[in-house]
Structure formats: C-alpha cells, structure tokens
C-alpha cells in the first residue's frame, strides 16, 4: 500500500540523496511535504537546498516548510565541516522558481497531523528532531496520526561521529530526541551501527558516475566532497550514506535486521551528551523501538540508485 510520508530533514548531502530516492519512488511513497530544520547547515540553507532538490527532480508541487532555526535548549551545532558550506559538497543544484511557503514547519505538522486520520502518515526524520518535538509540545495528540516514525539517529556499538559518544542528529538536539523517541508511536531508529555499513565505496561511486541520469550525477558531486573529508578526518574509504537508509527501509524492510529494544538519550551537558543507551535503562514507551542493527548494502545501493535514476 502507498504510504503518505512527510520528510523532516537538514539537507545536507545524504539528506538530499534520501529526498531524491523518495521522489523516485512515487508508486510506494506519496511525499506530502518536506520540512527542514537547522542541523548540518542553517535552516535557511537547508530550505534552499530542499527546494533545489525538488527543482532538480521536477517536483516543485511538493511544498517545503522551513522550521526551527535552533535546538530546544542547547546551542546550535552544525556539520558544514562534512557537508561543505553550502551543505551540498561540490554540487551546484538549480535554484527553485516555485513561490516559497511561508508556513512554519511546526505549524504545518500541527495542522496536517491534527487533521489526519489516526495512523495515516509516516514521519521520516533525518536531522535533529526539533521540529517534530516542538509540534508534539504544542499538541501531543498529533502523534495519533503517525503510523510509524522512521528516524536516522543514534549509535550503539559504533559510539558516535560528532563525539566519541554521540551521533550528530541526537547530539544536535538531545532534548528533542528524548521527546520524539518517547512519543508512544511505533519507531524504527536507524543509527550508525547500520548506516556505517552503507558506504559510498569507489565501486559504488563509479556506478553513480557512469549513470547518465541527473540525480545520480548531482549525488556524485555531493558525495565526492564528503568522501574526501571522510578520507582526511576518519581515514575511511567511502562516506556513509546515513539518511537514504530511511527511504531504503520504507521500500524494502527485508534488507535490514532489527531488534526491539529500549533507547534512552543522555540529555546532560557532559561529555556523553547525545549518547543513546540501547537496551539500557528501560523507561516507558521507548521499550518499543525497532532498532536497526544491520543492512544488506549491495542490494540497498542497487535499489536506491535505481530510484534516483527514475528522476
């Protein structure tokens, strides 16, 4: 059955690839809107980038709503050292000519989810969770409209990427993550333990480069930059494609392995800020989280590249 989906993101190279894969999957995913939040880069830059991806895809019928410019409590933390100043690596995307939405993402979420039937909308979150957490604070009842949240965030055995203890999306707004992960709806959480298994290796880069289609061409320019940075910072061959895993999961959950567990977030200001304890402290509804442990990288790459080539 076709799923109605809202993507809440901070594009960002891998967010853009997730968007392109979703836009290339119209038979399975009805993309209702894209919400953006400050994360990898400022919310203004994320807004421009999301609109540019839609322009590239010829899908400017999908609205983009700009959301929160800063986290709930902590100071903003950006990741432009990974994604580049523009958030797009070396890619230059077309400017959007569509009239910009003036509706704040939090108002959009409250209005849309508030009016939707129970369990009718899937929320995909690939950035800090500030927008959805703020919407839940305004109106907790909106959670009822969500059938599942599929979120990129957290880490267990991999530790972290922004600090040794924390993954970026959770670190950037731990208070928001705690609210969203405790919202009581079914949650699939895809953290670094899985996404670091999905790298843009030289062989996969070569396949994207060889593609004649516009989305993989843009993705190659974006990921090329992140690959260089990864090589220098982590000594790793091939950047991880974190956020596209969410779309891959919606399209082909059998490519992922999971276990149900509790997840608790460290909201302290200490060195473990943003740490996710997987299967640790058992508190309330977080016990129900579907924690992704692994994935089948080669068929997942085939799937997502194929979807991007449809644009």
The site for ligand BDR (CB under 6 A) is made up of 12, 14-15, 40, 79, 82, 126-127, 152, 161, 167-169, 242-243
Which of 145, 227, 245 lies closest to 186 in space, CA to CA?
145
Cβ distance to ligand BDR smaller for residue 8 or 167:
167
Give the three-state DSSP class for 96: coil
HSE value, Cβ hemisphere, 13 Å, CA-based, for 215: 24
Active site residue 242: yes
| DSSP code for 293 | E
Map the footprint of Ca ion across residues 240-259, applying CB under 5 A: 243
Q: What's the min distance (Å) between Cβ of 14 and ligand BDR?
A: 5
- Cα distance between residue 83 and residue 90, in whole Å: 9
Please report whether residue 63 would count as binding Ca ion according to CB under 5 A: no
Please report whether residue 127 would count as binding Ca ion according to CB under 5 A: yes
Cβ distance to Ca ion smaller for residue 244 or 262:
244
- Cα distance between residue 258 and residue 245, in whole Å: 13
Which of 83, 278, 261 lies closest to 170 in space, CA to CA?
278
How many residues line the site for Ca ion (CB under 5 A)?
A: 6
Cβ distance to ligand BDR smaller for residue 108 or 168:
168
Residue 51 binds: one of ligand BDR, Ca ion, none (C-beta under 5 to 8 A by kind)? none
Map the footprint of Ca ion across residues 3-42, applying CB under 5 A: 10, 12, 15
Residue 8 binds: one of ligand BDR, Ca ion, none (C-beta under 5 to 8 A by kind)? none
User: Regarding beta strands 3-9 and 29-36, do their DSSP bridges make them parallel or antiparallel, or are they unpaired?
Assistant: parallel
Among 65, 225, 242, 275, which one carries the catalytic annotation? 242
Residue 167 binds: one of ligand BDR, Ca ion, none (C-beta under 5 to 8 A by kind)? ligand BDR
- Cα distance between residue 130 and residue 115, in whole Å: 21
Q: How far is CA 303 from the centre of its chain?
A: 18
Q: Check if the beta carbon of residue 10 is closer than 8 Å to that of residue 128.
A: yes
For the annotated catalytic residues, the residue numbers are: 242
Residues that bind Ca ion (CB under 5 A): 10, 12, 15, 126-127, 243
């Amino acid at each position: 059955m076709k799923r109605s989906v809202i993507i809440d993101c901070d594009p960002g190279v891998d967010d853009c690839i997730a968007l392109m894969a979703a836009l290339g999957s119209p038979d399975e995913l009805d993309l209702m809107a894209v919400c953006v939040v400050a994360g990898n880069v400022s919310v203004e830059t994320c807004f421009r980038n999301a609109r540019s991806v839609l322009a590239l895809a010829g899908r400017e019928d999908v609205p983009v709503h700009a959301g929160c410019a800063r986290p709930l409590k902590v100071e903003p933390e950006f990741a432009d050292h990974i994604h580049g100043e523009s958030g797009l690596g070396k890619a230059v995307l077309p400017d959007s000519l569509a009239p910009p939405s003036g509706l704040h993402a939090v108002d959009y979420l409250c209005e849309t989810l508030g009016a939707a039937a129970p369990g009718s909308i899937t929320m995909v979150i690939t950035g800090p969770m500030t927008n959805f957490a703020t919407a839940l604070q305004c109106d907790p009842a909106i959670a009822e409209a969500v059938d599942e949240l599929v979120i990129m965030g957290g880490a267990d055995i991999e530790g972290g990427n922004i600090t040794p203890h924390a993954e970026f999306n959770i670190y950037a707004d731990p208070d928001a993550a705690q609210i969203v992960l405790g919202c009581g709806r079914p949650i699939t959480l895809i953290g670094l333990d899985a996404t670091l298994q999905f790298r843009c290796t030289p062989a996969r880069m070569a396949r994207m480069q060889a593609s004649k289609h516009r989305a993989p061409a843009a993705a190659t320019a974006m990921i090329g930059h992140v690959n260089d940075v990864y090589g220098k910072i982590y000594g790793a061959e091939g950047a991880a494609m974190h956020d596209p895993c969410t779309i891959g999961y919606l399209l082909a959950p059998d490519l992922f392995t999971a276990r149900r567990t509790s997840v608790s977030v460290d909201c302290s200001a200490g060195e473990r800020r943003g740490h996710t304890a997987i299967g640790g402290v058992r508190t309330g509804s977080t016990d129900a989280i579907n924690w992704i442990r692994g994935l089948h990288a080669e068929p997942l790459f085939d799937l997502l590249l194929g979807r991007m080539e449809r644009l």
